Amino acid sequence: MITAYLDHLTVERGLSRNTLESYRRDLDRYAAALAASGVTSLSEVKTSAITDHLALLREEGLASSSAARAISAVRGLHKFAAREGYTGGDVAAEVRPPAPPKRLPKALEVDQVTRLLAVPSDDTPAGLRDRALLEFLYGTGARISEAVGADIDDLSLLEDSSAILHGKGGKTRLVPVGDYARASLEAYLVRGRPALSANGKGTPAVFLNARGGRLSRQGAWMILRRAAVAADLPVEGPYAVSPHTLRHSYATHLIDGGADVRVVQELLGHASVTTTQVYTLVTVDRLREVYATAHPRAR
């Protein structure tokens, strides 16, 4: 049955060889556990046997991500067996893989952000755009999709220095635009955007590509990546600068500076304050780090 299921994954889903080998190891381990308990056919398996197998995986010290993959393989096997008529039903349908641990956001230090924002230093239309984009991301906490989705009419730089961001689920929010971001935006709108716009057919987008159209998320990501490389910041590995890094840094630095978590919630457009509270954990970790290095009796 395991071979038939893996053949199905190969043909129907085109999984990579490495993924298939991982699934095979997971399912062989599962089959061995069933055999050790006297179960020789999938039709004999009860839901409790699957939950017991999950518990055993965790007791053996398997990481939650690996345990989740193993149980996903088991769930897929049982679903396949039920669909093909080998068993009377899918006994694994109610078993949920363990949730992966919630990773804390990766925030840059203030001096790292300063270094990153200083990279686009030329006054070409593209250079002015790149600087305005990076300043806008960090100065407003906008998601990358909100930044590239912003239109000229969403900016109110002269009246109250604010911007309307169009977030998830069609929700909008008004956020302040700081002095640095406003100055960069004004320079770009006056000296950079008109030259880029001349190459296109006219679009209300704030940030334009070289053809005069709306800058894509991929284009914005490449701008950030180039700046990160130039600023000697990581672009690979667990601490790589990503499109969300400046948003994380924005929130963390606000909390570090004493901002109320509910104010930060509104600025980020989070539906629940619980989502925002993860940034307070980042701050606590930072406090522990400072304490450990600064207090004479910390270690």
Bridge partners (DSSP) listed for residue 214:
208
Angle (CA) 55-58-62 rounded to 5° is: 145
Alpha carbon 184 to its chain's center = 26
Q: Cα–Cα distance between 178 and 232 in angstroms, integer?
A: 25
Query: Taking a C-beta distance cutoff of 8 angstroms, is the pair 94, 235 a contact?
Result: no
Q: Cα–Cα distance between 30 and 78 in angstroms, integer?
A: 12
Q: Cα–Cα distance between 78 and 53 in angstroms, integer?
A: 14
Q: In 10 A of CB 70, how many CB atoms?
A: 23
Catalytic residues: 143, 168, 244, 247, 270, 279
Write the DSSP string, 148-179.
Answer: HT-BGGGEETTTTSEEEEE-GGG-EEEEE--H
The residue with tokens 């010290």 is 61
